[in-house]
Structure 1
Amino acid sequence: MRILITGGAGFIGSNLTEHLVSLTEVEKVRVLDNLSTGSLKNLEALVKNSKFEFIEGDIRNYDTCLKACTGMDLVSHQAALGSVPRSINEPLTTNEVNITGTLNIFTAAKEIKIKRVVYAASSSTYGDHPGLPKVEDNIGKPLSPYAVTKYVNELYARVYADVYGMELIGLRYFNVFGPRQNPQGPYAAVIPLFIKAVLNNEPPVINGDGEHSRDFTFVGNAVDANVRALTVVNPEAVNQVYNIAFGERTTLNEVFESIKGVAGSDLAPLYGPERKGDVKHSLADISKAKNLLGYQPSTSVKEGLKTAFEWYREQHHFSYS
């Protein structure tokens, strides 16, 4: 297999790239990334690997997407501009990257006759639908520009499958966390921010009362789901979207307490206002991914938090003083 990974220098993409390069049945892994939110540091262990190739380029450029797809069998489309708050502040850029960029990749894959595209979808697509757990066919109205873009990706995938006979699989990630998730910047995710705060012995700010809950998902589980989606042979499993999560709900307060427990810290958090566009609770029904992809998350939230904390402690991405 020769696989293109867009956004392969990012958090999920680099974890996936590293895993795919290690597989004997994979002949080549090509990464396309513009390094706007990803980093070459995430790929430094692979630079000398003969299976690995890196192209610095932007999915908003169609010719770049065509070049990146050429000679590939499969595409894993991870590149996106994440973060609900960023999309509220930067709706035009979010649209360009997440919708135009994705359409470029889908179209390039069509032209090159790529066998299958697996793309990163999002739990934000559920919007204001009140039901828990979240089931793939029941979605509400999007609550942010980011959520709109990720839903549009799914609509395009459905149309491209029907009109052009393509194979596309969407993975709706639920709050993925783990090594290489960037703790820096105004749009950093909550778990790396909590870990950074504990390492620096500074109380973190929790938006709201801390009782917001999420189906936090360790990145290794997301990597496994991607591999299964890229390789599944059951025709019923193709041209579907899947919840990719652990299948349990954890509050922000519980996450912080777990991190404190690993670190042996007695920090108390500060509580601030709720964020615009946030949903109060999120929990995935993962039975569809289990049944059709054979997905079985193997790392729990507590195990994942311990692994993540130990990784960040060994890094020097930020000052601990």
Structure 2
Amino acid sequence: MYNIPYHTQDLSQSTFLITGGAGFIGSNIVEYLLKYGAGKVRVLDNFSTGTHANIEEFRSHPAFELIEGDIRSLETCREALQGIDFVSHQAALGSVPRSINDPITSNEVNVTGFLNMLVAARDARVKSFVYAASSSTYGDHPGLPKVEDKIGNPLSPYAVTKYVNELYASVFSKTFDFHTIGLRYFNVFGPKQNPKGPYAAVIPLFIEAALQQEAPYINGDGETSRDFTFVENAVQANVKAMLVENVKQHEVVNIAFGERTTLNQLWERINEIAGIALLAEYREERKGDVRHSLADISKAKTLINYKPAFSVHQGIQIAFHWYKNAKPIYQKL
């Protein structure tokens, strides 16, 4: 992937910290930066959800560094930020169901850990701080498409934590003149997303089912819709947001493709790619899930020149063949 560069700057003298860099989105950002000659790419990860498999190919690269540590430790955050220019903060505990089952740990990682990173990055005087926000912040607001300044009430502990991130970032901007950019991801998917475990996302679960030629479960009637976003679009957003100049306040932008796909349509598409014709099995809806989601991405286009290059259909095809070839790796996880 990443045959198209999303930057024009010379990265060879720049240093980057990717928290959660052994995770799904983080490891894809690491791959991009190393491919295009970044001077240093440091990963901070505690491997609670990230995997060694995601970064194994980078370990021999001279510009790659790994700190195995936890963002819940302020001292660890300070250590990781030494000599760093640009930060992409991806470390978090994702998943609405996980946060419902264990809200305390989600808060410790997503709120306390985030605040530690903010404080450490402010004190280290980094050039930019970009962080993973979430479309879950829109909560019960019924409007479509979702626009950054119109949000509702959060529907899960996870959504609360991600909204608190935005509040803290905004306060730091006004109080300490430390400006950050939050990327509200909309259902990112693609290579290196783990299909295993109780909190796996829907697309890797569907692809895994198709590869096994087994019917997947769909929560609800399958007409729930999402603005699924291929991971390379998210990588582009992170790179452009880290390198953008003249950000004078805290900003939040939607990162999506700008198109709605239902779960039924998603499974139909995966059936086509896999050359199978399996019907899904339906069960009750999950607590805390939003019924429909669609992003307005005009602010991201204006602020960071975001131009999503991969549609849902293109992304699913790439992801399917990646999982088909990488399957032995994930059987070991």
Structure 1 segment 105-144 matched on structure 2, within 5 A: 105-144=117-156
Q: Hey, what does 2:28 align to over in structure 1?
A: 15
Q: Hey, what does 2:238 align to over in structure 1?
A: 226
Give the fraction of aligned pairs with identical amino acids, expressed as a percent.
63
> Distance between the aligned counterparts of 2:247 and 2:98, measured in 1?
37
> Distance between the aligned counterparts of 2:35 and 2:175, measured in 1?
35
Q: Indicate which of 265, 269, 272 corresponds to 2:276.
A: 265
Per-residue deviation, 1:201: 1.0
Normalization by structure 2: what TM-score?
Answer: 0.94
Q: Hey, what does 2:50 align to over in structure 1?
A: 38
> Distance between the aligned counterparts of 2:262 and 2:122, measured in 1?
42
Per-residue deviation, 1:23: 1.8
Q: Is 2:278 the partner of 1:274?
A: no
Whether the 8 Å CA contact 1:249–1:282 is kept in 2: the answer is: yes
Question: Aligned letter for 2:318?
Answer: T
Q: Is 2:307 the partner of 1:299?
A: no
Normalization by structure 1: what TM-score?
Answer: 0.97
In angstroms, what is the RMSD of aligned CA positions? 0.9
> Distance between the aligned counterparts of 1:184 and 1:48, measured in 2?
27
Superimposed CA distance per residue, residues 89-112 of structure 1 (whole angstroms, 9 cap, x where no aligned partner): 010000000000000000001111
Question: Aligned letter for 1:251?
Answer: T
Per-residue deviation, 1:113: 1.3
Superimposed CA distance per residue, residues 61-100 of structure 1 (whole angstroms, 9 cap, x where no aligned partner): 1100000011101111000000000000010000000000
Per-residue deviation, 1:174: 0.1
SS at match of 1:58: coil
Question: Aligned letter for 1:19?
Answer: Y
Whether the 8 Å CA contact 2:53–2:329 is kept in 1: the answer is: no
> Distance between the aligned counterparts of 2:48 and 2:275, measured in 1?
35
Superimposed CA distance per residue, residues 238-276 of structure 1 (whole angstroms, 9 cap, x where no aligned partner): 520000000000000011111110000111100000000
Moved more, 170-179 or 43-52: 43-52
Whether the 8 Å CA contact 1:115–1:167 is kept in 2: the answer is: no
> Distance between the aligned counterparts of 1:114 and 1:70, measured in 2?
9
Structure 2: runs of 5 or more not aligned: 1-13
- Provide the aligned length of Structure 1 versus Structure 2: 317
> Distance between the aligned counterparts of 1:235 and 1:126, measured in 2?
24
> Distance between the aligned counterparts of 2:244 and 2:123, measured in 1?
23
Q: Hey, what does 1:202 align to over in structure 2?
A: 214
Q: Hey, what does 2:96 align to over in structure 1?
A: 84
Moved more, 186-195 or 105-114: 105-114
Per-residue deviation, 1:132: 0.2
Q: Indicate which of 141, 164, 169 corresponds to 2:176.
A: 164
Q: Is 2:230 the partner of 1:213?
A: no
